[in-house]
Amino acid sequence: MTVSTVAPQRNASRAFWLKHLHQWHWISSALCLLAMFLFSITGITLNHASQIEAKPAIQRQQASLPAPLLDQLRSEAAQHDGAKQPLPASAEQWLRATWKVQAGGRAAEWAVDEIYLALPKAGGDAWVRFALEDGNAEFENTDRGWISWLNDVHKGRNTGPVWNWFIDLFAVACLVFCVTGLLILKFHAAHRPAVWPVVGLGVLIPLLIALLFIH
C-alpha cells in the first residue's frame, strides 16, 4: 500500500469518527441542557445555603377520628406495638378525605397509645399523629420555600424513585458529553496547541484546591 492511498484512508477514518463523535456530543448536550442549567444553579444555592435565609411556613391541623376507625386502629396497634408498617386502607382514605394527605403505603411507627406517620418531601416536611387514647389526629406540614425544594431536587432528597432514576441517566449523559468532548479535542489538538495545556489546567486547578484547601 502506497503513501498516496494511506493518507486518504486515514482522512476518511478521521472524518468518520469525528462525525459520530460530534453527533453523540450534540445529542448528549441537548439532553443535558435543562438539567445542567438546573444543577448548576442549585450548586450555587447549596454552596451558599447558610447565607440564604429561609422562612419555613408551618401549617397545623387537628381533627377527631371517627369511632369505627379509632377502634380499628386501637385493635391493630395492640397487635403491632413497636412495629413499622403501613396504615390500613381505611386510615389512608380518611387522611385523603380530611387533609388531602397521600400516605402512599409509607410505613408508620405503631405504639399502643399512638401512631406516627412521617411524610418527608422535597423542600419541606410533614407528619401525621394519631393519639389513640382520645382519638385526636394531628397533621403538620412545613414548606421551606422553592430554593429549599430545588436544593432537595439537586440532592435527590425525598424526590421518589423516578427522579432518582433520572439523575442516574442524566449523569450517564454528562459522561458521554465529557468523553466525546475530550475525544473531539484530541482530534483537533494537532492544529490547536493550547488544547492540552488548557485541559491540564482544568484537571490541575481543582486537584490543587482540593489538596491544599479542603481539610
Q: What is the pLDDT of residue 154?
A: 94
pLDDT for residue 5: 61
Q: What strands, in cross-sheet order, belong to the sheet with 84-86?
A: 57-64, 136-143, 124-131, 114-118, 107-110, 84-86
So where are the chain's domains? Answer: 14-52+161-209, 57-144
Which residue do the cell numbers 401512631 mark? Answer: 115
Please identify every stretch of the chain with a pLDDT value under 70, giving residue numbers as ranges: 1-8
Q: What is residue 77's predicted lDDT score, i.e. its pLDDT?
A: 95
For residue 90, which of 64, 66, 57 has the smallest C-alpha distance? 66
